Structure 1
Amino acid sequence: MAERFQTVDKAQLARRFGAAARHYDAHARFQQEVGQALLELMPDRPVGTDLTVSGLDLGCGTGFFLPTLATRCAELTGLDLAPGMLEQAALRGSGARLVCGDAEQLPFADNAFDWVFSSLALQWCERPAQAFAELLRVVKPGGQIFFATLLDDSLWQLRAAWQQVDGRAHVNRFLSLPQLEQALAAAGISAPELRCITWELAYLELPQLLRDLKGIGANQINDEGARSAPAGLSGRARLQRLAQAYEAFRQPDGQLVASYRVCLGHLGKPC
């Protein structure tokens, strides 16, 4: 369970997302769509049905979903690795308790929450099995975990275009579905409900996609090859060659497509 999937500098990760916090929502169309799909998997549980219901938004970011989640429990906690994100989340006025922490070492007691919502946060974990084990630990017996995470085919068009430019991927690495299933099994989770979906986002020009990736702070976090450019290519020349290579993916309607592979998961903790 201690095996690492990837090496992530957590301090750098927090700085990247924190620096993007103020303009994150303007570039987070995809993240908002996925989070909404995850919400639709959850049962409605308005405040007042059970005054003891507690929920956790793991990787709450700017708190975009906190107001909606607050209607489904009496006590809501939002956790994020980036203090800058939590500063933005505090402006939502959701009433949620906001906590800075790491998904792989959750600062909560055992059996603390009735449910956990986590949208597009778990893919940044070095030890996904450890993160899932932590989720299982903090959920009460009979509790539910709803998560969305990226899989390894995400942004395959961008990866292929970069390979033509300099032979490197320049795209973050994510778990394959078998690796995700292995991490869940290692965490002691049996019979998970997993649904894999391909999201396609359309752009008029490649720089729009690159601006979105940079705008949310998610560009080149765990791809080692992205940190060095080949000799003889300036930044502008590389981007021009990248745009030319990406033209192979322009659709008949004139738009460029960026594909994400997403896994929506529902886990239950035995009573």
Structure 2
Amino acid sequence: MPDRQHTIDKQQARLAFSRAAPRYDQVAVLQREIGQRMLDRLELVRLQPEVILDIGAGTGVATAALADRYRKSRVLALDFAFPMLLQTRKRGNWLRKPRCICGDLEQLPLADQSVDLIYSNAAIQWSNDLDSAFGEFRRVLRPGGLLMFTTFGPDTLKELRAAWAAVDSGSHVSTFIDMHDVGDALLRAGLADPVMDVDRMTLTYERVTGLMRDLKILGAHNVNSDRQRGLTGKGRLQAMQEAYETFRRDRKLPASYEVVYGHAWAPEAGYRSNAPSVSIDRIGLDLNRAGRGA
């Protein structure tokens, strides 16, 4: 597993998302769009899951969509921030309240081979040990089960990172793992036929303070363990904002996101493969390969 430049303070991350829960949906535009694109990809899958696990369920937008799509399935929502799960419970109707689990994706509180489909939108970047996380995913997946996930790559928030770098050498922006390293971790976990691809999306703001406000509301601001404690001085904050202005185009400030999509299968009995990840051009073929939950 490649070393991250910075380690995530899990306690602070959990606290940040707990505080964010009541207002999260107000600003989670990008997360909802990415999640919907991943749901659209499930249209290609010939899979009738008995049990679905939504890892990093947040406020339960995808949990509800999965329950609506797979009406005969049991859908579980897992998040490490309990207040997020309270929002998920509010979203469910009185007939089908989602089953919620407060837990960490690196230590899933589920039995071996108990899940047919893992859906995880923008969650694995909060893991400090991707090998442990993917190992847990494989452990709970039944043979032939499917993992589908999204995360963010290193170019995410590159403008904000560069603007802070022009001011000091401190850690101000979360770091993200390269797509190829994520694919390698899937293989190390023994997951079969991994496919990785990337999409690049940009949000725009009038001022950088708008971006920083949204990140705080989302609970996605910097929680690196080596982040600077205390308040940032007005002088450095002003210098960062001035540095960010060099990215202004068409009177807007961009905030770039490198969105990584991935999927892999829990191997059937006797499966052996050391094959590399393959291109998204083959996603339709791979998701419909013979014998996959037809």
Offset, 1:267? 0.9
Instruction: Tell whether the 8 Å contact from 1:83 to 1:100 is kept in structure 2 after alignment.
Output: yes
Distance of 1:71 and 1:267 partners within structure 2: 23
Q: For 2:239, which of 236, 241, 245 is the aligned residue?
A: 241
Residue by residue over 1:210-245, the C-alpha shift from the partner in whole angstroms, topping out at 9 and shown as x without a partner, is 11100011111126244367xxxx633222211111
**Residue identity (%):** 40
Offset, 1:146? 0.6
2:41 corresponds in structure 1 to 41
Instruction: Tell whether the 8 Å contact from 2:183 to 2:196 is kept in structure 1 after alignment.
Output: no
1:192 alignment partner, SS class? strand
Q: For 1:254, which of 228, 251, 254 is the aligned residue?
A: 251
2:292 corresponds in structure 1 to none
Distance 1:99 1:18, change over 3 A: same
Residue by residue over 1:151-195, the C-alpha shift from the partner in whole angstroms, topping out at 9 and shown as x without a partner, is 112111001000112233411011122321232222112431111
Deviates more, 1:220-229 or 1:255-264: 220-229
Could you list the runs of 4 or more consecutive aligned residues of structure 1 that deviate by over 6 angstroms after TM superposition?
none
Residue 263 in 1 paired to residue 265 in 2?
A: no
2:132 corresponds in structure 1 to 130
1:264 alignment partner, SS class? strand
2:212 corresponds in structure 1 to 210
1:218 alignment partner, SS class? coil
Instruction: Show the 5 A alignment for 1:168-207.
Output: 168-207=170-209
Distance of 2:248 and 2:88 partners within structure 1: 37
Runs of 5+ unmatched residues, structure 1:
none
2:169 corresponds in structure 1 to 167
Q: For 2:57, which of 60, 64, 67 is the aligned residue?
A: 60
Instruction: Tell whether the 8 Å contact from 1:220 to 1:226 is kept in structure 2 after alignment.
Output: no
Distance of 1:64 and 1:35 partners within structure 2: 9
Distance of 1:200 and 1:176 partners within structure 2: 18
Q: Give the CA RMSD over aligned residues.
A: 2.2
Task: Output the TM-score relative to the length of structure 1.
Answer: 0.90
Distance of 2:228 and 2:11 partners within structure 1: 18
- The amino acid that maps onto 2:243 is A
Task: Output the TM-score relative to the length of structure 2.
Answer: 0.83
